[in-house]
Structure 1
Amino acid sequence: MHSDDKPINGQPNPSFLDLLGPTPEPPDMKDWPRPKRFAGLREAWDASWKQGGFLHERWEDVRHARFAGWHGMANWIKTVLSLASVCAFIILLDAAGDIVSVVAHRITFWPVIDTPIRTYIAQHTGHLAVSGSAVYAFWQAAGLLGLVGGFFHSTGARITYSLWGAASIAMVWSASPADGRTVATGIAVLAWTTASVFALRGLSLRPVIHTAFQPHIDIRPEVHVPAQPAPAHDDLDKPDNVHPLQR
């Protein structure tokens, strides 16, 4: 609809009804240029997978690791495998400690050993920076580590296990009731020596004698006769009983 009003500045003046007409549709957003936010990141990702890139080299290390063996694989793969093995061992050790504790509490004689140790630790950790439960957990881990390490013939683990057993027996003796102290200590000694069958297996009290190196002497029953010098040609014509006159 056209307006009958006079033009303003040489342009037609739209009427009110023209303003209520349909508005033009906005341009399609597909035609708009996309923002290049991740363009640099995408280029770096593609470059790292090219020949000689960082990710390409790491993938080559992983691909050749199974053929190269432990000594031939990359150092970062050895580090990752070592850390993963240590973490797995700690998790298994913690789970084994819980299993051993549950099974041990089902045994009739275990409270005779465990209760005095808990009591002794609780009585002597009041002024420490750690709680008694943390000390008790450390005591369990040390004993289990010594038992497992001693089974694999580790000298340090066997020393730890021996000191752990002596300390445990001392705690049982100190914290047990006076009437049953001897019996409780005897049960603790028997339990520790029974576990020592696994922790100290293969250990011998016989002294090991290392003989020094002795040279090998070869004796043969042979007689060696030194070679005699051959007589000269002129001496062959002279008789053996003729000797020069000596003054």
Structure 2
Amino acid sequence: MHANDKPINGQHRPNPAKAPLPELPPTHKDTPRITRVRAAWKKSWQQGGFLYRRWEEIFQVRNASWHEIANWIKAAALVAGISVVIMIVNAAGDIAGAALKGLSHVPAVDAGDGSGLWGTVDHPVRAFLAGQAAHLSVAPAALYAFWQAAGLLGLIGGFLGNAGARIAWALFGCTTLAMVWSASPAGGRAAATGLAAVMWALASIIALRGLTLRPIVHNYPPQFQPQFNPTLHLHATLPAPTPAGDDLDDRTRQHPPAPALTPRST
């Protein structure tokens, strides 16, 4: 027993230096990281939390207009759309490049004998393109394939009502007539060109379906009809009202009161 542990009045006095310290609750730094992450995750999904608000914004997209959608959703949609467009353009460029490269190595297309109605139009086109390709760095087969693709796209796109496709179809017909006129024999040039024009006009029934030159007039009543309500505004200046006392004095001056009659004594 130490000196400080001597009994006092028959009782032992504890030594404060040897008394056990109370256990303190664990601080935030002592909490494991996975516990803190789990608690933050649950808190963010509670009502008013960060993830809870983002989920509500995504859920409201189907019933909201473009101006009511959250900005971060608009940005994400624009980035995704631009990325998809870039990927499509890149793939289309690679495909078109490979197709043109393959066509450039194709041997020259046989011009044929030009027999039949279709041969009367097709033979001058083939001959014209073959003669022009000799002065260009492209194969005649590539020019002929491009001419066919332009006509097919103009025909299909015009049937679907696309304005650009119909313009392409008109240019396709004009260039075809020019090539037929240029490459046809001199004796049958007019007949070949006229036959090509008739065939192009018959195909235009499909390509220019629904096209009309008459102006379209819509007789629908306007949604907002302004109402005209004429009003007349009169500005009149009225004199200020006279006080009651002044009015009584004026009438008194104009009409003095009659003298009172005193009865005589008899």
Interval containing the TM-score (normalised by the shorter chain): 0.3 to 0.5
> TM-score scaled to structure 1, two decimals?
0.44
Bigger radius of gyration among the two: 2
